[in-house]
A and B are shown apart, each in its own frame.
Chain A
Amino acid sequence: MKYMLLIHQGTTPTPNSPEDWARLSQDEQNAVYGAYQKINENPGVTAGLGLAPPETATTVRVQDGRTLTTDGPFVETKEALGGYLIFEADDLDAAIELAASIPAASMGGAIEVRPVVEW
């Protein structure tokens, strides 16, 4: 089975906001990098692309033929998608275990695990 793991950073400090990130000790920062490195070394993982912070998002809708844009993400900023990865695994349990190892899961965010539809 293939799963997409959607990473919602929530209030997790990330290098995207340097002042929050600086609040983590050097050891904590290394732990975050280490966790991601371990995830990327997992043979089932296809790394996704990182996304710039939700504040940089533009949300687009088309109404009556007119393109309307709003500043910010579709969902609340704190619920916005921060990144994703694809994981090929035997079952949901394996995907849940990997999700739990993503720093955002334990540092103020959450990971949504979604099966990828295979045609």
Chain B
Amino acid sequence: MVAPLEQAFRDQWGRVLATLIGFLGDFDLAEEAAQEAFAIAARRWPVDGTPANPGAWLIATGRNRAIDRIRRDRTLAAKTRRLQAPEAAEVEMDDTTIFPDERLELLFTCCHPALATDAQVALTLRALGGLTTAEIARAFLVPEPTMAQRLVRAKRKIAAAGIPFRVPPAHLLPERLDAVLAIVYLIFNEGYAGRGDLAAEAIRLGRALAELMPDEPEVQGLLALMLLLDARREARFRGDDLVLLDDQDHALWDAVQIEDGRSVLDRALALHGHGPYVVQAAIASLHADRPRDWPQIAVLYGELSRQTGSPVVELNRAVAVAEVEGPSAGLAIVDRIDLGDYRYLHSTRGEMLRRLGRTDEARSSYVRALELVHDDAERRLLERKLAELDGPAPEAG
């Protein structure tokens, strides 16, 4: 159960911090001011009641605190860029003041390609997600001081190297938006691999992005994709064991979220989206149908394979083709893929060989996949597959 204040914190943090950074031009100063504003809220709101517009209240309070601080401490004034004349800056502000939403500027700053990927991820979760350093450290299995250091270095680089706080101009936007989407999806996949909190956080970021850039089809596509994949989360594990899509209990799927994902996908398609996230979302939507439209899935994987040139996508296409034309057609594609140490290549190959009744070859493929696996749940799944090879007879291929 999340306390109301904690909920407000989560909901408002990114917005408040973004506006304060925009105003103060300094990440650290803005973070301190935001923290102070939330601390004051924690004392006052339970007594005075929650203000009508909590976000504006927090921004106004944080901003006034920062100005106080600058007045008291002139060395801090040197750190600010926009605040040339702090004496004049304090205007009448209360929770009816309309503040610009600068979360997009913040997101593009956090996901700037001049920062290392792990720094982009950590900064995005801290600045927009409102996760604490300790929470981010835990999510990535990194000691807290290491994560703290990573965040400090990233913020220092933003200031020292002059990484701009803005939405990139049109000629840079496509590339930079790709980088932002990749970071959000990376956070989602960390969550999808087991840490559910991060998946939920990525979806929150995706929703914010979709709201801020409503006309970008790939933004809608990514949100749709995450919603559709996450809807199957409860069904993906039985205890600690992985359950493959075919064996999942559909009753455990979140039907409301699937509908939500499909309506976001419809919006992306209405915007004439056909980029990689939109195509992946369309595939995820088809995977949620029973029976599945395998020919259509195979066509979309073909499209995605052309767009990305990714051998992993080609492997997925092989699975779909195997459903449409039989395992030998699938195997023919698998055997053309150059992905030597990729465990799913070997497990997929094992599955197709099993269906063809080539049990010995299937066994050696599964064994190879087992050698490459790191995750316990995946290991147990492969061990079950191996055990089954000696059990029921193969289906007719």
Residues of A within 8 A of B (CB): 1, 3, 89-93, 95-96, 113, 115
A1 B162 Cβ-Cβ under 8 A: yes
Q: Considering only CB atoms, which chain A residue lies closest to B168 in the complex?
A: A93
Beta-carbon nearest neighbor of B163 in chain A: A92
Taking a contact as CB atoms under 8 Å apart, the answer to whether A115 and B160 are in contact is yes
Instruction: Give Cα A96–Cα B179 distance, bound, in whole angstroms.
Output: 16
Pairwise interchain contact A90-B164, C-beta atoms closer than 8 A? yes
B162 adjacent to A115 (CB under 8 Å): yes
Question: Could you write out 11 A-B pairs with CB less than 8 Å apart?
Answer: A3-B162, A89-B162, A90-B162, A92-B161, A92-B162, A92-B164, A93-B164, A95-B162, A96-B114, A113-B161, A115-B161
Query: Which 3 pairs from chain A and chain B are nearest by CB?
Result: A91-B164, A1-B162, A91-B162
Task: Please classify the interface of chain A as helix (H, G, I), strand (E, B), loop, or mixed, using the class held by over half of its residues.
Answer: mixed
Q: What separation, in Å, do the CA atoms of A90 and B114 have in the docked complex?
A: 16
B162 cross-chain contacts in A, Cβ below 8 A: 1, 3, 89-92, 95, 115
- Contact string against A for B residues 168-179, beta-carbon threshold 8 Å, 1 for contact and 0 otherwise: 100010000000
Chain A contacts for B160, CB-based, 8 A = 115
Closest to B171 in A: A97
CB distance from A99 to the nearest CB of B (A): 11
Write out, one digit per residue, whether chain B residues 90-119 have a CB within 8 A of any chain A CB (1) or not (0): 000000000000000000000010100000
State the CA gap A113–B163 with chains docked (Å): 12
- Most chain B beta-carbon contacts within 10 A, residue among A3, A89, A90, A93: A93
Taking the closest CB of chain B, its distance from the CB of A51, in whole angstroms, is 24
Instruction: Give every chain A residue within 8 A of B172 (Cβ-Cβ).
Output: 93
Chain B residues positioned under 8 Å from A95 (CB to CB): 162
A112 to chain B, nearest CB (A): 12
**Chain A residues positioned under 8 Å from B112 (CB to CB):** 92
How many angstroms between the C-alpha atoms of A1 and B162 in the bound complex? 7
User: How far in angstroms is the closest Cβ of chain B from A27?
Assistant: 26
Distance between Cα atoms of A105 and B168 in the complex (Å): 22
Distance between Cα atoms of A7 and B108 in the complex (Å): 27
CB-CB contacts below 8 Å: B61-117 with A = 112, 114
Closest-CB distance, B124 to chain A (whole angstroms)? 18
In Å, the complex CA distance between A91 and B112 comes to 12
**What residues on A are CB-neighbors of B168 within 8 Å?**
93
Q: In the complex, what residues of B have CB within 8 A of residue A89's CB?
A: 162
What is the CB-to-nearest-CB distance from B173 to chain A, in angstroms, rounded to a whole number?
A: 11
A27 to B114, CA, bound (A): 33
Q: Least Cβ distance of B279 to chain A in Å?
A: 29
Q: CB-CB < 8 A to B163: which residues of A?
A: 91-93
**Bound CA span A39–B262, Å:** 49
Q: How far is the CB of B162 from chain A (nearest CB, A)?
A: 4
- Which residue, of A1, A89, A92, A115, has the highest number of chain B Cβ atoms within 10 A? A92
B131-169 near A? 1/0 per residue, CB < 8 Å: 000000000000000000000000000001111100010
A89 to B163, CA, bound (A): 11
Q: Which residue of A lies closest to B159 (CB)?
A: A115
Q: How far apart sit A10 and B199, CA to CA, in the bound complex (Å)? A: 42
- Rounded to whole angstroms, the CA-CA distance of A89 and B161 in the bound complex is 11
CA distance A91 to B166 in the complex (A): 11
| Distance of A38 Cα from B164 Cα, bound (Å) | 25
Find chain B residues with CB under 8 A from A1 CB: 162
- A115: chain B residues within 8 A (beta carbon): 160-162
Which residues from 159 to 204 on chain B have a C-beta closer than 8 Å to any C-beta of chain A? 160-164, 168, 172
In Å, the complex CA distance between A40 and B352 comes to 61
Write the nearest CB–CB distance from A2 to chain B, whole angstroms.
9
Query: Closest approach, in angstroms, between the C-beta of A3 and any C-beta of chain B?
Result: 8
